[in-house]
Structure 1
Amino acid sequence: MRATSPSREVRRARLAVTVTFLVHAATFATWAPRIPSIKQGLGLDHDDLGIALGGLAVGLLIGTRLTGRMEKRGRTGLAIRILVPAQSAALIAPAYAIDLLTLTVALAFLGLLGGMLDVAMNAHAVAVERLYRRPIMSGFHGAWSIGSMVGSAIAALVAREGVDVRLHFIVAGVLVAVVSAPFLTGLLKPDREAAITGHDVATSQAARPPAALIVVMMMAVMGFGSFLGEGAIADWSAVYLNENLGTSVAFAALGLSVFSGAMAASRLVADRIGTRFGPVVVARAGAAISAVGYVVFLLSPSPVLALIGFSLAGFGLGPAVPVVFSAAGNTRTRRRSSVLGPVVSAGYVGAVVGPVVIGVVAQHVGLAWALAIPLGFVVLIIVAAGLLRGAAGGAGTESADVAIHAHGPATTDG
């Protein structure tokens, strides 16, 4: 059935969610390039910095677990309007830290708000996607990738000019809050959001817990593996190119660049592919391309060929998170109005723990073997992609409806 053209309200909501993804990414991308300046200003060593970044990770994880009630009540739009300026303000705090303790607390609070906003914006994206009656989630995540690249590039330029971190973060925080405010008025109103999401646990189908648990766990593992793959490339691609293939430091930096660029590009085209072929095909084909990319760069003796491998790995992995999140947002159990929160949390665990595990494994068996760990998760996505048919553009989750209740097909519920 041919989808009708979305109303002005729905188009405004899509733009508002896109802006939210952009500013969420840009805020964290503003912080990261200034880490050396803050580290030096406070006289921290590597161990101290690890503790502070641990605070950020803990805050992110806790934040993703505090959003269940607002999802259930259809109030993620209201939450976003509060969290975006709050996160912008929280960005300023790390610049004013006076020691390790205050920096850790400031980063934990920034992470807390960032984790809450991450779940809220993805849940709201699911609601808007239903109204569109076709896949648009990958586009939102493509906007996140663009926001991250733009934010980090601006921050790097500001740092090169020697601008004080406090001034930088104040200006960035104010700009984000002020510029985004007019767009956020377009988010769905609570009554509209609640009607679309239909998050009434009492109306869910009866579930058989063992099967439901397996489905949710597999989605969580796919989210974990997707984030682990991104984190592994972010933290280890330059080291791999430099030490294993003997490239210069400058050339080694290209590994992450081509990976991130290819990931952003794939997310910007994945929705059209999903509209035609469905989310299972998008996830499975993307994972297959990513697996080829991993094999290419892990076995390549040539740095240039390795870059091709990194780009294939990023291009294929790009749609995985949006499709997994869309499926999770459209899936509920008897006790949960949506399993999006747990899946996002699992993703953050993968992003935080994965690169550390790869470092430990690399110490014992070598970096090439350690970087094969994400490849295993990519293969898992290929095998388990059938569980993602509840994402927009799919045909529901009838194959698993003995375990869970999934909101209906995208042709009727968006």
Structure 2
Amino acid sequence: MGVDVTPGVGGQTSRDWLVPASAFAVNGALYGSLLTRFPEIADRVSASETEFGMVLFASAIGGLLGSLVAPLLARAVGEWAATLLAGVGYALLAVGVAWAPRLAVLGGALLLLGLLDGAHDVVMNAFAVRIQQASGSTLMGRMHATWSLSLAGAGGLGTVAAGLRVPVAVHIGVAAATALVLQLAVALRSRGRTPAGAPGPAAASTGPPRQRGIRVRLRHVLPVLGLAALAASYVESPGQEWTGLLLSRGFDAAPQVAAVAPVLFAAGLVVSRLVLDAAVRRSGPATVAVFSGTTMIAAAAVGFVVTLAGGSAWWALAAVTVAGLGAGPVFPLLFGAADHLSIRHGIPAARTASIVSALSRMGAISAPVVVGSLTDALGLGMIFAVMTAGAVLVLLALPRAVR
């Protein structure tokens, strides 16, 4: 079967999904590369659990700021140019994190990295929404599956690098250079073919939005949307950033075994996101949301019991994997709900993406501090306990947010 290149609205073709997909791939690959080396980075700067939580807190603060300023950047240069600029900066700052010799330097590097990551997250989702609206095809599940697959692939390579004792700076430097080459290559190939910053079809056709109607709609939708995004951060943040440390210090696992924990979480994300579009068409978004919440609750609760009982590290890895499987649909569903707001009310795509991203990053800001403090006081089992609490809130809010 050949590739469908029938022009959509605004001259877009269905193959143009590869352009925003490259940004999702770069973001996921850089993040996955760093995740696998976080235990070694923490040990190099002699960070306790609380101190490691604080530098992750700095990264989350940067991410929130980046998500808030991203719509201004997108308005100034267009979604694709903004995506390229933020992605290049993200790659360069990743090298800074890998080289950081002291805790304070690591905190500063992670703050700036978070700033670029937050901006990149918003503008790449906004750009994907723009292509989705122009082509008339569904892309968000595909985009987030690309991100997760890239994270898992890069994490797998990072696990091998950790097992072979490849220096962290060398590993991250190669990953950043590859990301830079990919972004520049895609930018050159797509030059002149992508919508830079022109109004999307919804904004162009609906005229000036009815401000009072928008305020009423957002007042009903945003609290539930915000709770789901906040709660999801309390599952994804520990699942990606703390499970390596849990395996390393809680189960005395070897570096290569500890490094595989965030990779398995990402693998669960990949599997559920690859089948998400078909599942939504078959069962509806609310049913998928219920499945997502219940799966996360079950997996995190099992992980908590295994940790308290001093069970095998392999059971903990299984719980991490299933938790990732349950977490996969959450953010694609939330960004899809934000896309609906953009179309219905003529709101710029970057603004609705910024709303979801900023709310989720508010959860990411507090999660490292909460997890770090609880683990210092009550043990590493609190990582799974926090994930369980977040999953319960997701189950309460997500089905309503997407209904």
Q: TM-score, normalised by structure 1?
A: 0.75
Q: 1:271 aligns with which of 259, 267, 277?
A: 277
Q: What is the Cα-based RMSD across aligned positions, in Å? A: 3.9
1:196 aligns with 201
Gaps of 5+ in 1: 390-396, 398-414
Counterparts of 2:207 and 2:151, CA distance in 1: 36
| SS of residue paired to 2:69 | coil
Equivalent runs, 1:26-45 vs 2, <5 Å: 26-34=29-37, 45=47
Q: C-alpha distance in 2, partners of 1:97/1:254?
A: 23
CA drift at 1:154? 2.7
Deviates more, 1:143-152 or 1:275-284: 275-284
2:60 and 2:365 in contact (8 A); partners too: yes
Q: Is the 8 A contact 1:74 1:194 kept in 2?
A: no
Select 2:131's aligned residue among 128, 131, 141.
128
In structure 2, the partner of 1:401 is: none
1:232 is aligned, of 238, 249, 258, to 238
In structure 2, the residue matched to 1:289 is 295
Q: Give the 5 Å matches for 1:173-212.
A: 173-184=176-187, 185-186=189-190, 188-190=194-196, 194-196=199-201, 198=203, 202-204=208-210, 206-207=212-213, 209=215, 212=218
Q: CA deviation at 1:21?
A: 0.8
Task: Decide which of 332, 336, 361 is 1:322's aligned counterpart.
Answer: 332
Give, in angstroms, the shift of residue 269 of structure 1: 0.9
SS where residue 199 of structure 2 aligns?
A: helix
Aligned residue in 1 for 2:21: 18
| Structure 1 residue 160: Cα displacement | 5.1
Answer whether contact 2:134 2:200 (CA < 8 A) is retained.
Answer: no
Whole-angstrom CA distance in 1 between matches of 2:169 and 2:263: 28
- Classify 1:188/1:197 alpha carbon distance in 2 versus 1 (closer, same or farther; 3 Å): farther
Range moving further from structure 2, 233-242 or 23-32: 233-242
Alignment length (residue pairs): 383
Partner letter of residue 293 of structure 2?
A
Alignment of 1:344 with 2:357, yes or no, is: yes
SS at match of 1:203: coil
Which piece of structure 1 moves more, 296-305 or 71-80? Answer: 296-305
Residue 112 of structure 1 aligns to which amino acid in structure 2? Answer: L
Query: Shift of the alpha carbon at 1:227?
Result: 1.9
Give the aligned residue type for 1:325: F
Distance (whole Å) between structure 1 residues aligned to residue 102 and residue 219 of structure 2: 43
The 1:155/1:377 distance shift into structure 2, 3 A limit, reads closer
C-alpha change, 1:59 and 1:310, in structure 2 (3 Å) is: closer
Where do 5+ consecutive residues of structure 2 fail to align? Answer: none
Structure 2 counterpart SS, 1:194: coil
More helix by share: 2
Change (3 A) 1:154 1:71: same
> 1:154 & 1:123 partners in 2: Cα distance?
29
Secondary structure of the residue that 1:66 maps to in structure 2? Answer: helix
- Residues 194-225 of structure 1, C-alpha deviations (whole Å, 9 max, x = no match): 22352889324523747633421221221111
Residue 66 of structure 1 pairs with residue 86 of structure 2: no
Residue of structure 1 equivalent to 2:369: 356
Match of residue 142 from structure 2: 139
TM-score when normalising by structure 2: 0.77
